[in-house]
Each structure stands twice: as structure tokens, then as C-alpha cells.
Structure 1
């Protein structure tokens, strides 16, 4: 009997211990902390889902109106309204026509005398426009405005050279902004304002209303005769226009605009008038003329003598 017990105990020691685990599964949905049970239940709202397959064409107008009121939907309108904001005009109204030879003709010449007479004839409209500008802007002075315009002109070009888009929007209008930024992508600009050869002066002023009689814009054209330096480099650092050493005399007619009806409006650069008699722009230094290809001579085909039939 002892042998049988030892044999049984030996088999138990030598065999692996078997552990039987019974998984416990529960179907309860209780939260472990029932403290905020009521508040958690209030987080869910029961509402009726809309039937997207319902036939609207079969409903009466009263039923459709009732459905839209239940869902909080406004009735559709027969027209489309889109709000828009006008902070600048789309162009120059009654643009200034620069006299031919301005900046070159001498004061004593007959050409300059004729130009002076023409300017006096057109000066009455400008004076009326300046008077209207003063009715909206009491601090406006014809003698002090050209100096302010020159500061705006310099600040706008410096922000363009520095690549400051946010500052550039403060000095140019929405019309002039894409014209300023045109063809300046991936280019390095070097610009310097050296001096004024002649003091800037107002040569033209106009006022007009847009959409309504109360919405008035004012435009003032200022003549600049300055000396500047400009150099433009491409993305590879090659000089494509101008020079950082040579200075040039620049004669420009810059239009400044302000939304007079807006109490927070400011004077900004709007456009630049280029006269017809102005010399053409210099081409890029990297511009090359591609000659036409030379005609290729036709290859001569050697004719083989025909073999006589025997």
C-alpha cells in the first residue's frame, strides 16, 4: 500500500501543476462611481431625426413651412445677397494728363509757357475738389500734403523691398497692391531714395461718389521729381535690372486715394500715371535675342544607274 501511495505522490510531483481559471463576464452598465449618475443622464438629448427620404413635392406649402419652423431653417429667397466692402475704387477717374516735355523744357521756352496756361485752365476743378476734401478732412493742407505723400511713397517702397506684405497694405490700396507685388516673386530688390530734385507738388485733384451720394472718394495726383537707385537680382543672384552704384532721375505722377466718407480712412498710393511721351522701359540685362535657325540644306541623293535588262 505504501508503494502505491509513493507511486501516486511521485506522479503528482513530477507532473505540471494545472491551474483552471474561469472567466467572469458581467453585463452590467453601471458606472464605477454613481455619484453623478443623474448629471450624466442629462448630457444626452433625445430628439426626432429628420426623414431625408420624404417627398417634399407632395407636401402642401403650409406643411413645408411647418417643417422648416420645426428645424429652424429660414425660407429660401428668390435673390442672392452678398455683402461687399468698398475701400478703394477700381481706377483713376479723370486722370491727369502730364504736359509733354515736363521736367526737361526750360521755364523760358514757349512750350513751358503753353503748359502753364493749360494748367491754369484746369486748376479750377482741382480747387473745387480740394475744397470738398477739406470739408471731410479739416487738417488737409495743399502745401503740407506733398510732404506726407512723399513719406507714404518712401514707406511703401521700403516695405516692398523688405518683403513686409502687412505693412505694404497700409500704404497702397487694394488695386495697387497686386501691381506692386507683380513680378517680384523670388527676386531681391535693392532700392534707395537719394534726394528730391524738385519739391513734390499737387498737380491734380478730383472727388467722386460710388454707389451712393454719401460714399465719396478723393484722389490727389502728386508730381515727384527725385533721384533714386534700384537694382533687381533674380533668385540666382544675377543682376537683371538697374544698378546699386548708378543713380537715375525719376519723374513720376503718383495718384493717392482716400475714402473720405470713412472716418478711419487714410491716404494710400492708388495708381501711377505714365504719359504717352515717356521713354520705353529698359529691357532686362538677361534678355537675349534668339536668332532664327539657318535653313538646313537638303541632302543630295545619289542616283544609281539602272541595270539594263539582259
Structure 2
């Protein structure tokens, strides 16, 4: 019996070992659908990667230009510094010092006498500056300029009252613009120019150059003694400064500046000179919180215990 079983199984032992091992599947990079094999192969492009270790300093200009065209790069532009334009100065050079008590009827002091002597000494510099201005503006005249300066002064304040920022830039310099607009947000301004108590006059003039000798700026200080009305309201319509009924006499020293080297330069308001002896401004009627009442101290009377009466 055993021999019969061995005789039946013996042919299996003689077979090669590979026939007894079952095949196993392995992962491949082939797509399961060979229909679009050609299109999938066209999705990949062979490109030449740049050599990062290549010394570009040894390449000729023609070879460098060829490589940049292959990579689609534009040639580098030569370095050029950007020019900048200065349309206004940052302050007042050699500012005018108003005499003490100017604009008042009778005021005699030693300080004013000294200032008058100093003004006579500085008058020659102002005449030289006006002569410098006339070399650029042949039609410049001090008396005619005063009327022009007054018109610029009125239009600048009207633009501020109308909240016209674009028109205001035509009449004030870049230095004076933030000073004009300071604390005017959400405010209603009513301003009116009534008349001039004294005709405006030029009291000071200076010229200076910036960076180069050809870049010249001129500053002319004009004295205004006028009568104006000013009223300022907050965003709730409450009056916080001035009045639309009461007119006040205003004495001001306004500095006008012009870029003489610029062919299209114009005279604009640059700054305002406030003398040391000027009276302080009236405080604004600001809204304040009412302080809380102080706590009232309450005196508590202590009860005096009475001795107990014994029962009889």
C-alpha cells in the first residue's frame, strides 16, 4: 500500500522547484490603461538644467547673452540713482523778528528801540534779496506783490474752510500743509475776511540755495493787519472757538516762499511768525466731563447701652 502511494507521488518530486512557487504581483510604473500612453509621455519635457558651479566671469559677452536668451532672462539694467525734487524748504531761514508792541497805538520800550536798530541793519540784506528775486522775475514789485500775497492768503484760508484739500495745495507749501490741516478733522470752519486795517507791506526778504548754487529759494515776509471773523464748530455743531458775529483785529507775519530756479514755481504760504510778546490765544470751549460728586461722610452715632433694671 505504501509503495503504491510513493509511486504515485514520485513524479511530483522530480519536477523543478519553480513550478511549486506561486507567482506574486509587484508594483510597476505602468498605467493600467495603455490607451493614452503616447500622450502621457509627451507631458514630460527634457530640459537642460543650469550648471550652478559654472564660473560666469570667464564667459564671453556673446556666450552670456546666448545663455540668457535660452533661459528667457532680460539683461540687467545699469544702476542709476533716482533724481528727487525739492519743492519747498523745511523751515524759515533768518526769520523776521517783529518789533515789540507792533500794531498798538502807543508803546515805547527799550526793547523796541533795539529791535528798530537791528531792522535797519538787516534792511540791506532784504534789499539784496529782492534784487536777487528781480534777476529771476523782472516784473517783481514789492507793492504789487503785497496784493498778490493777500489774495493767496485769502484763497488758502477759504480752501481750508471749504475742506478743499486739492485747492489748498496750490496756495500752501508742503511744510505748511499739515500745519493748516492740523486738528481740522470733523470740524466745521466759518472764516471771513472783512477788510484791511493797514495795507500789507513787505518787511523781510531772504534768498538761499539748497544742495547746489543754482537751486535757489526765496522767502518774503509780509505783514498783515486785518479784520476777520472765525468760528469753529465740532462734529455735533457746537461752537468751540470764535464767533460768526464778533470780528477781531488780527496782526500776522506770513512767510511766502517760491522756488526761483523752477520755471513754473509759484508763491505759496510757507509759515507764520509768532512773536514772543504776542498775547496767548483764547482757550477753546471744549466739552468736559462733569466730575462726580464727592462722597458724603455719614457719622453713625453709637447707641449707649443702659443698665438693666432689676425686677423687684
Regarding TM over 0.5, the answer is yes
> Shift in Å at residue 219 of structure 1?
0.2
Superposition pairs of residues 264-283 of structure 1, within 5 angstroms: 264-283=264-283
Output the CA distance in 1 between the equivalents of 2:271 and 2:196: 20
Aligned to 1:170: 170
Q: Secondary structure at the match of 1:240?
A: strand
- Counterpart position of 2:158: 158
The residue aligned with 1:144 is 144
Please show how residues 2-41 of structure 1 align to structure 2 within 5 Å.
none
Task: Give the deviation of 1:86 after TM superposition.
Answer: 0.7
Query: 1:119 and 2:115 equivalent?
Result: no
Instruction: Return the index of the structure with the highest Cα Rg.
Output: 2
TM-score, scaled relative to structure 1 = 0.71
Q: Separation in 1 of the partners of 2:48 and 2:233?
A: 63
- Contact kept, 8 Å, 1:106 with 1:112, in 2: the verdict is no
Q: Deviations over 1:184-205 (max 9, x none)?
A: 1111110000111111111110
User: How many angstroms does 1:61 deviate by?
Assistant: 2.9
C-alpha distance in 2 between matches for 1:94 and 1:292: 52
Q: Which residue of 1 aligns with 2:243?
A: 243
Distance 2:133 2:150 in 1: 19
Instruction: Assess if the C-alpha contact under 8 Å between 2:192 and 2:229 holds in 1.
Output: yes
Partner of 2:89 in structure 1?
89
Equivalent residue pairs, number = 251
Deviation of 1:114 after TM superposition, in Å, equals 4.7
Distance 1:55 1:283 in 2: 75
Q: Deviations over 1:28-77 (max 9, x none)?
A: xxxxxxxxxxxxxxxxxxxx9997xx575754335597268532231575
Write the distance in 1 (CA, Å) between the matches of 2:245 and 2:47. Answer: 75
For residue 96 of structure 1, report the CA deviation from its aligned partner. Answer: 0.8
The CA deviation at 1:117 is 3.0
On the 8 A contact 2:100/2:112 being kept in 1, the answer is: no
Distance, in Å, in 2 between the alignment partners of 1:234 and 1:118 is 44
> Is this contact kept in 2: 1:56–1:64, CA < 8 A?
no
d(CA) in 1 for partners of 2:291 and 2:279?
Answer: 26
Distance (whole Å) between structure 2 residues aligned to residue 293 and residue 167 of structure 1? 50
Residue 284 of structure 1: CA displacement?
1.5
Aligned counterpart, 1:74: 76
